[in-house]
Amino acid sequence: MKLGDISVSYLLSLRSAIRQQQLDPAPLLERFGITEALLAEPHARISIPRFMRLGNAAIRYTKNPAIGLAMGNHSQLSHLGLAGMTAQCAPDLATAFEVLVRYERLTSQNYRGHSSFEAPALRFYSIAPYNMFNLFVVDSALSARALTGKQLTGGLAQLREVHIEFPPPTYAARYEELFQCPVLFSQPHNQLMWEPRSLQLPLTQSAPGHYQHLLTLCDQRLHELTRHRGLRERVESIVAPQLHQRLPSLMQVARELGLPSWTLRRRLQQEDHTRFQDIIDDMRRELAVSYIRDTELALGEIAFLLGFSSPEAFQRAFKRWTGSAPGGYRRGILEKGKT
């Protein structure tokens, strides 16, 4: 199981933010295999871990820990492709946010969670605990969404508050400079709290006829992306966001899928020759390898994310899965990368 992926179009705002600092982004992007040809592909994706590593490298390259926030000033709805153009044509800001959340799968997929919109809160999901890798992701996501609201309404939309899950970083003062509203850290969610009246604002480029047509195209594209999802993948999409919490039971997952629990159990056996508990075990194993290989999260943090009772329990499980202790497994990957 991958951690997820995003459209390469998200890198266009990073490239512009680097250029604004009078630096050439090409050497940095090339180091991560990001070419002009790749950026020109409409459906090209990069993995979330790769995006996180690129962001961390951009921080070091620019010597600007707030480069993720700077990306917001360079984000455009066109970077979100079909979903962005559809949101642009929506009748009001609330509808535009609903479109961006409903069709988020067209430009990104995070297997551990997803964005949501419950007025007046536009919420962004990110894995925790936090370090400079995912601080960058949250910064870039929230700043881009804030600018989107302003772009759609010709600058009239107003933020009431910004909530951020992690404690204030060293560059905390930059947040209120950018968002122009109170920014609260160490909160339960990463979210933009909009003034309720702002959500009813008409959009400057609203186009009802085109909006309905573009909705149809979004539905078609979403169907193309998801039509081959099997029952196992649908179960994974429900369980994955809750691995670090109290896991849902087979009965709860079946209810969310609209199936009797005995039917879910039988179909998993018929379609995938597997059991519900096997899926959970496989997800933990695959995500553990991804976290060790693709991130710099501490072992205790990974143990928390995967729902283990302690780092020791995680280390025992990882050795059982791979034959290596997680620390040794990570060192082996780093040594291979140097050769």
End-to-end CA distance of the chain: 27
Confidence of residue 228 (pLDDT cuts 50, 70, 90): low
Check residue 129 and give its pLDDT. Answer: 67
CA gap 90, 80 in Å, rounded: 15
Q: Which of 1-5, 31-35, 117-121, 306-310 has the highest mean pLDDT?
A: 117-121
Q: Are 43 and 2 in contact (CB under 8 A)?
A: no
C-alpha 146 chain-centroid distance: 16
Which strands, in side-by-side order, build the sheet including 45-47?
45-47, 4-7, 108-110
CA distances from 77 to 82, 96, 121, 151 (A): 9, 11, 19, 9
When pLDDT is averaged across residues 238-242 and rounded to a whole number, the result is: 81
Per-chain mean pLDDT for the chain: 90
Label residue 337 by pLDDT band (50, 70, 90).
low
- pLDDT over 90 (residue 104): yes
Given CATH 1.10.10.60, say whether it is the number of domain 231-338.
Answer: yes
> What is the pLDDT at residue 165?
94
In 3D space, the residue among 111, 257, 307 whose CA is nearest the CA of residue 265 turns out to be: 257
Residue 201's pLDDT is what?
97
Q: Indicate the pTM of the whole model.
A: 0.78
| Span(s) in the chain for CATH 1.10.10.60 | 231-338
Cβ atoms of 79 and 13 closer than 8 Å:
yes
pLDDT over 60 at 1, yes or no: no
User: For 153-275, where are the alpha helices, taking DSSP H only?
Assistant: 173-179, 208-226, 231-239, 250-257, 261-272
Which among 191, 5, 4 is positioned nearest to 97, based on CA atoms?
191
Residue 52 has pLDDT above 90, yes or no: no
Report the C-alpha gap between 281 and 268 in whole angstroms: 15
pLDDT at 114: 85
At residue 258, the 3 state secondary structure works out as: coil
Split at pLDDT 50, 70, 90, the class of 339 is very low
Higher per-residue pLDDT: 149 or 42: 149
Q: pLDDT-based confidence at 164, cuts 50/70/90?
A: very high
Looking at the chain, how many residues does it have?
339
